[in-house]
Amino acid sequence: MKRDAAVTWSRHATDFTATHDGKPWNYALVPHEAVSENRTLAGLVAMHRVKPSVA
């Protein structure tokens, strides 16, 4: 699934940037209905962040 691949990519990107003084990566699947002028990116990510499934 594309979602699982994106979550895995985010995890790898975070691992890489952690060793190079970078910031963590997150994957958020935001439905278009959730986007409006009164919402912030941080708020949208907090509401729609896709957490890795426990394997």
Q: Is residue 34 part of a domain?
A: yes
pTM score, two decimals?
0.61
Q: Is residue 54 part of a domain?
A: no
Q: Answer whether 14's CB lies under 8 Å from 49's CB.
A: no
Q: Is residue 29 part of a domain?
A: yes
pLDDT tens for each residue of the chain, 55 residues long: 888 888 888 889 989 998 998 888 888 999 999 999 999 999 999 999 887 665 4
> 36: domain range?
2-48
Q: How many domains does the chain have?
A: 1
Query: What was the pLDDT predicted at 53?
Result: 61
Q: Is residue 36 part of a domain?
A: yes
Q: Is residue 11 part of a domain?
A: yes
Query: What was the pLDDT predicted at 34?
Result: 96
Query: What was the pLDDT predicted at 4?
Result: 86
Query: Residue 28 pairs with which residues in a beta bridge?
Result: 49
